[in-house]
């Protein structure tokens, strides 16, 4: 389904490569939760893609990368003449441009729920689950800061547990929101807080048991 550019494509200085050949190209590191989200979306749609490895955390960033990702964040994306950045925009494009199961429902409320959960992943899950609890694990951040992340992480858990499931935005199949949420929950799952937030028997815990086993998702989780 997906491949990874070999060594020549992984140097930050050798340009974005040729994306005119058909398959979309995702630029970023396979360990990035946002890169994983986009790759999950492509796989769920059944779209073959290439990963062009770029480490957006490395400095200096290559000029060609800043041209396709002006804020220097991964992933960036190319499909023929189309160039995009920001995971939610990329996923929306992938959903609309390719056949395959929809990542956003057509009905107004269903679509709104997906966009709400996707927004929560950006605004709450990334800063608190990933950047806060995961990056601060094993005493890497001060206790006071960790307490703030823990409180926000639990508020997010409570909001997500309001969903009737089976997927996070109450869709019958994985949506754009699940593409973003699965890699972030995967960071959490490795932590003591994960046992609480993804507790079996809770809506979020049941979701995690299902989503992590879906092959198109599992193959991109670190
Ligand atoms: N809102 C962006 C966030 C992307 C993002 O924060 N990516 C991180 C890696 S997970 C990154 O590239 N960080 C590099 C940096 O901040 O220098 C999206 O949805 O794509």
DSSP annotation of 128 reads: I
Of 72, 97, 122, the residue at which a domain comes to its end is 97
Which element (helix H / strand E) includes 26?
strand 25-28
> Do 62 and 127 belong to one domain?
no
Q: Are residues 81 and 152 in the same domain?
A: no
pTM of the model: 0.94
Tokens standing for residue 85: 């950045």
Question: Per-residue pLDDT tens for 176-197?
Answer: 999 999 999 999 998 999 999 9
Q: Which two tokens stand for residue 141?
A: 């951040």
- Cα–Cα distance measured from residue 174 to residue 162, given in angstroms and rounded to the nearest whole number: 17
Is 103 contained in some domain?
no
Domain annotation covers residue 102: no
Question: Ligand 1: distance of its center to the CA of 123 in Å?
Answer: 12
What spacing in Å lies between the alpha carbon of 201 and ligand 1's midpoint? 32
Same structural domain, 92 and 127 = no
User: Does residue 9 have a pLDDT over 50?
Assistant: no
Using CB distances shorter than 6 Å, the residues near ligand 1 are: 32-34, 56-57, 72-74, 86-88, 122
Pair (61, 136) in one structural domain:
no
**Residue 57 exposed, middle or buried by CB count within 10 Å (0-12, 13-18, 19+):** exposed
Question: Tokens for 190?
Answer: 């490795």
Boundary (domain end) residue, out of 75, 97, 119:
97
Does 57 lie in the same domain as 16?
yes
- Going edge to edge, which strands form the sheet with 25-28? 2-4, 49-53, 25-28, 76-79, 82-85
Q: Are residues 147 and 208 in the same domain?
A: yes
CA of 70 to the centre of ligand 1 (A): 11
Phi, psi (rounded to 5 degrees) for 53: -70, 125
The answer to whether the CB of 156 falls within 8 A of the CB of 120 is yes
Do 84 and 181 reside in the same domain of the chain? no
**Count: domains in the chain:** 2
Give the pLDDT of residue 19: 66
If asked whether residues 83 and 116 sit together in one domain, one would say no
For ligand 1, atom 11, the nearest C-alpha belongs to: 73
The CATH code of the domain that includes 7 is 3.40.30.10
Question: Do both 142 and 78 map to the same domain?
Answer: no
Q: Which of the listed residues 42, 66, 97 is the one where a domain comes to its end?
A: 97
45 and 138: one domain? no
Query: Which of 56, 76, 87 should be mutated for ligand 1, with most atoms under 8 A from CB?
Result: 56
Same domain, 128 and 51: no
Tens of pLDDT, residues 157-171: 999 999 888 999 999
Q: What is the CATH number of the domain that holds 128?
A: 1.20.1050.10
Which residues lie below 8 Å from residue 98, measured CB to CB, with a gap of 6+? 45, 46, 47
Per the structure, the complete domain to which residue 168 belongs is given by: 108-218
Note whether 127 and 160 are same-domain residues: yes
Strand residues in the chain grouped as ranges (E): 2-4, 25-28, 49-53, 76-79, 82-85
pLDDT score for 17:
78
Please, what is the average pLDDT of the chain? Answer: 93
Position 21 in a domain: yes
Angle CA 204–115–167, to nearest 5 = 30
Asked if pLDDT for residue 5 goes beyond 60, the answer is no
Q: What is the mean pLDDT of residues 47-62?
A: 97
């Amino acid at each position: 389904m997906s491949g990874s550019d070999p060594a020549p494509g992984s140097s930050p200085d050798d340009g974005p490569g040729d994306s005119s050949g058909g398959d979309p190209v995702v630029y970023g590191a396979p360990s990035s939760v946002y890169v994983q989200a986009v790759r999950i979306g492509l796989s769920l749609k059944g779209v073959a893609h290439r990963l062009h490895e770029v480490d957006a955390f490395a400095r200096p960033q290559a000029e060609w990368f800043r041209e396709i990702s002006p804020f220097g964040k991964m992933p960036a994306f190319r499909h023929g003449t189309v160039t995009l950045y920001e995971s939610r925009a990329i996923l929306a494009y992938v959903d609309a441009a390719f056949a395959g199961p929809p990542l956003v429902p057509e009905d107004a409320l269903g679509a709104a729920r997906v966009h709400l959960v996707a927004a929560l992943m950006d605004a709450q899950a990334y800063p608190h689950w990933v950047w806060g609890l995961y990056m601060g694990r094993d005493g890497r951040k001060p206790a006071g800061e960790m307490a703030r992340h823990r409180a926000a992480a639990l508020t997010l858990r409570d909001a997500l547990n309001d969903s009737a499931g089976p997927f996070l935005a109450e869709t019958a199949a994985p949506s754009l929101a699940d593409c973003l949420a699965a890699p972030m929950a995967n960071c959490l799952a490795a932590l003591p807080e994960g046992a609480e937030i993804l507790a079996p028997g809770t809506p979020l815990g049941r979701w995690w048991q299902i989503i992590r086993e879906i092959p198109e998702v599992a193959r991109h989780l670190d």
